[in-house]
Amino acid sequence: MKVFIDPPNSLILFDLVERFGHEPLGTMAPIQERIDKTEVDMPPMNVSLDDVVKGLKYAGVEVPSGIRGRLALWGPLIEAADAALIMEDPPFNFGCVGCERSNEMAKYLIRRRGIPALTVRYPDDKEEAVMTVGRIKEFLEGLK
Amino acid sequence: MSEERETRIFMISPDSMITPDQLVREVHAMGKEVTAKETCYGTLVEGPRPLVGEVLAIIRERYPYDIYSKVRAYPTGDRRRCRAEHGTRPGYAQLEAEWEMLPLIQHGIRCSENGERPAVPKEKEKLPLEEFKKICEAC
Amino acid sequence: MIKIAQLSCGSEYSSVQYEIEKAARSVGAKMVYPDVSYADVNNAVKRFGFNPRSPQLKLMIARAVQLADEKYDADAVFISTCFRCAEAALVRNELRRFIQDNTRLPVVTYSFTERLKAAQLLTRMEALVTIVSRKDLLARERQTGLTVGIDSGSSTTKALIMENNKIIGKDWTPSGDVVQTATTVLENALKEAGVEFKQIEAMGVTGYGRFTLGKHFNAKLVQEELTVNSKGAVWLADRQRGEATILDIGGMDNKAITVRDGVPDNFTMGGICAGASGRFLEMTSKRLKIEIDELGKLADKGNWRNAKMNSYCSVFGIQDLVTTLSEGKTFEDVAAAACHSVAEQVYEQQLQEIDIRRPVIQVGGTSLISGLVTAVGEVIGEKPIVPPNSQYIGAVGGALLSSGFL
């Protein structure tokens, strides 16, 4: 099954979803699609102007361009996902997940779609880590 | 995902004894038509998607707890992402942070493979205002 | 290669990163990102004292701290975030202040939309490069020899001739064909100075038409208007040493520049709409059926409070103007209200992005509109200095700096 991961650029979540037998949907694939486009003379850095305009599907023009650009990448992935795995409060959130408003909106879009979603908190210690990984494993193995 | 190219980050957990150099040599020794570039945290493997997938499967089997992986959008050595070219991109800090966290995940995976059952975490509630008021008044 | 440190949020997801890098490249500079480790981020945020929710803004803070601590080597700083993001606007401005307090690096701030093109950043990037690469030239305080400066602006073209640190001829005219109008004002200025073109030892050109004119006249100095105007302004106001703020409300865009010993260290440039520029005052004069140079005096006699203009758009602003006139308000009050509206917008849009340093020197063609100067004074709490020949700053700067090549 296709599982959207949030944060969508997380190595840990990408690895766990793949490890437990599913296809992770993250930011990397749509960015690769864009930068590999050979017909573009100078491939864009992550997104193109068209993408930011397409982002209007998810947020109005009064919303900063950086949010619309991100949502243009994530929106179609969330729409294509069969399930989602969300990690809250990760101590890492850089790169495409550098904007907190975009991150909140991504979580909301997942909820709005009503697909099976597991939300886990980032573990603070070993005990919590066992719990977190265990819950993720259980969730992913339970997806059919 | 492009069928022509897949670039994958393989990151070695800080708790592991495997070195990036060793990992690169192992990838080379697999004899697949992929390139492997040593990085501070492990290696970047690039090649046709099915071959990179084969490399991933072998590494997973050999080092189920030590090495973690995700795909990367930009090809190896892309000038737009290259640290030597103009300093680090934001994603670098993200990877660094995740790298530091890998021992916790490593521990979690080990335990869960050993059949430990996860407990559902308790939601922490805020102290009721009345109680807080009492405490304040008592001080 | 001049290294411009980029502290930004959102540029890579707004499709503008390539444009930023292109603008830098075209002026011989390179964008760089101060290296930070993950551990640096948390420490830097704690030290800075502002903890934004968005991690990319935290990263910006950490990068600024690297620059302040001289752990990363750069020549100038470009701070940029998405337009309309409140959190980023707060961080952007506070980081600009932090950089200015802790380094001597020239800094420029900019908020972008996805429509940003490299051309919009060119003048800003060029100014950063000039400040770094022409330090010695910009330190020049006296004009020597016989030189001419031409300022080819969006509204007017000015030429001015200087000899041994004195102005000996000048002329201006509304801009038309770049070369033609420049030639006309140059000829008139030469006539007034009583010298022949062949006697001129050096020429400096600035403004929108600088590249065309530089080629046509084979000028010694072709330089953007931010640094040239600053030099011209401090020379005219006799404030070559110490700090000052230069305010130039232009025909299409406005400039607010803070200077230290005549060299800019921070500037904002632009105008989101024509409602905050000299163009609005032109439109107002047309509607009042008076010449633009009468508008200021008229405004001096009026009271803006009697004819409030609530809109910041030049279209709706003119509508307000029509309404107030139809309500029977006096021309004087309406003229004052138009001046006040421009001053208020300049304060809100430009002066918020810099820290005003006293004295404020108001220059450019609009500084001749006395009502506007009064309005700016009211808004910022101190009447600006308007030096003689204040509309000739670019041309003076061009003549002064080009003498450095003799």
The helix or strand, by DSSP H or E, that contains position A67, with its residue range, turns out to be helix A65-80
Nearest CA to CA, how far is B130 from chain A (Å)? 29
Whether the per-residue pLDDT at C34 is higher than 60: the answer is: yes
**pLDDT score at C272:** 55
Q: Which of A49, A65, A92 sits opposite C10 (nearest CB)?
A: A65
CA distance C85 to chain A (A): 6
Q: What is the DSSP string of A69-113?
A: HHHHHHHHHHHH-SEEEEEES-S---GGG--HHHHHHHHHHHHHH
Structure confidence by residue, pLDDT tens digits, B71-105: 999 899 887 777 777 777 777 778 888 999 999 99
Which residues from B are below 8 Å from A29, CB to CB? 1, 71, 73
C-beta atoms of A27 and B101 within 8 A:
no
Secondary structure in 3-state letters for chain C: CEEEEEEEECHHHCCCHHHHHHHHHHCCEEEECCCCCHHHHHHHHHHHCCCCCCHHHHHHHHHHHHHHCCCCCCCEEEEEEECCCHHHHHHHHHHHHHHHHHCCCCEEEEEECCCCCHHHHHHHHHHHHHHHHCHHHHCCCCCCCEEEEEEECCCEEEEEEEECCEEEEEEEEECCCHHHHHHHHHHHHHHHHCCCHHHCCEEEEEECCHHHHHHHHCCCEECCHHHHHHHHHHHHCCCCCCEEEEEEECCCCEEEEEEECCEEEEEEEECCCHHHCHHHHHHHHHHHCCCHHHHHHHHHHCCHHHCCCCCCCHHHHHHHHHHHHHCCCCHHHHHHHHHHHHHHHHHHHCHHHCCCCCCEEEECHHHHCHHHHHHHHHHHCCCCECCCCHHHHHHHHHHHHHHHHC
**Cβ contact A69–C114 (<8 Å):** yes
Q: For B72, which residue in chain A has the nearest alpha carbon?
A: A28
What's the rounded Cα separation, in Å, for the pair C360 and C363? 10
CATH number for the domain formed by residue range(s) C2-133: 3.40.50.11900
pLDDT tens-place string over residues C42-96: 899 999 999 999 999 999 999 999 999 999 999 999 999 999 999 999 999 999 9
Q: Tell me the C-alpha distance between B78 and B99, whole Å.
A: 22
Which pLDDT does position C316 carry in this prediction? Answer: 77
Please enumerate in sequence order all residues whose Cβ is within 8 A of that of A41, keeping only pairs 6 or more positions apart, or say none. Answer: none
Inter-chain touch C54–A92, beta carbons under 8 Å: no
Q: pTM value? A: 0.88
Cβ proximity of C324 and C332 under 8 Å:
no
Q: Which chains touch B (3 or more CB pairs under 8 A)?
A: A, C
Asked if residue B1 has pLDDT above 50, the reply is no
Where do the structural domains in chain C lie, given as residue ranges?
Answer: 2-133, 138-227+393-405
- Are C358 and C259 within 8 A, CB to CB? no
Could you report the per-residue pLDDT of B121-132, keeping only the tens digit for each?
A: 677 888 999 999
pLDDT in tens, A71-118: 999 999 999 999 999 998 887 677 778 899 999 999 999 999 999 999
Q: Which CATH architecture has domain B6-113?
A: 2-Layer Sandwich (3.30)
Q: Are strands B6-12 and B42-47 parallel, antiparallel or unpaired?
A: antiparallel
Q: Which among C31, C36, C38 is the nearest to B86, CB-wise?
A: C31
Q: Quick one: pLDDT at residue A7?
A: 93
Neighbours of B78 (CB within 10 A): 14
Percent pLDDT > 90 in chain C is 75
* Contact partners, residue B96, CB within 8 Å, separation at least 6: C37, C38
CA distance B12 to chain A (A): 12
C neighbour chains, 3+ CB pairs within 8 Å: A, B
The larger pLDDT score, comparing residue C334 to residue C316, is at C334
| Residues A94, B1: C-beta atoms closer than 8 Å | no
Residue C343: per-residue pLDDT: 92
What is the tens place of the pLDDT at every residue in C258-304?
Answer: 999 999 999 888 755 666 778 888 888 988 899 988 999 999 999 99
Q: Do B87 and C32 touch (CB under 8 A)?
A: yes
Mean pLDDT of B58-70: 96
Average pLDDT of the segment spanning A57-68? 95
pLDDT at A124: 84
Angle between the C38-48 and C55-68 helix axes, to the nearest 10 degrees?
A: 80
pLDDT at residue C240 tops 80 = yes
Residue among B93, B97, B111 minimizing CB distance to A130: B111
Q: What is the pLDDT of residue C256?
A: 93
d(CA A39, CA A22): 32
Residue A119: strand, helix, or coil: strand
On average, the pLDDT of chain C sits at 92
Asked if A94 is an interface residue toward chain C (Cβ–Cβ < 8 A), one would say yes
**Average pLDDT rounded to a whole number, residues C90-110:** 94
Give the residues across from C149 on adjacent strands: C160, C204
Residue of chain C whose Cα is closest to the Cα of A95 = C56
Quote the pLDDT of residue C203: 98
Candidates C38, C41, C63, C65: best to mutate against B (most CBs of B within 10 A) is C38
DSSP state of B124: P
Would you say residue B31 has pLDDT above 60? yes
Is there a contact between C32 and B93 if contact means CB atoms under 8 Å apart? no
Taking the CA of residue B66 and the nearest CA in chain A, the distance in Å comes to: 12
Record: contact A12-B111, CB cut-off 8 A: no
Mean pLDDT of chain A: 90
| Number of Cβ pairs < 8 A linking chain A and chain B | 121
Q: Give yes or no for a contact between C299 and C342, defined as CB atoms under 8 angstroms apart.
A: no
Q: Over the stretch C142-198, which tens digit does the pLDDT of each residue have? A: 999 999 999 999 889 999 999 999 999 999 999 999 999 999 999 999 999 999 999
Say how far apart CA B115 and CA B84 lie, in whole Å.
45
Topology of the domain comprising C138-227+393-405: Nucleotidyltransferase; domain 5 (3.30.420)
DSSP-derived pairing of the beta strands C254-260 and C263-270: antiparallel
Is the pLDDT at A14 greater than 80, yes or no?
Answer: yes
Residues of C near A (Cβ–Cβ under 8 Å) read 9-18, 38, 52-57, 59, 82-85, 87-88, 112-115
pLDDT reported for residue C250:
84
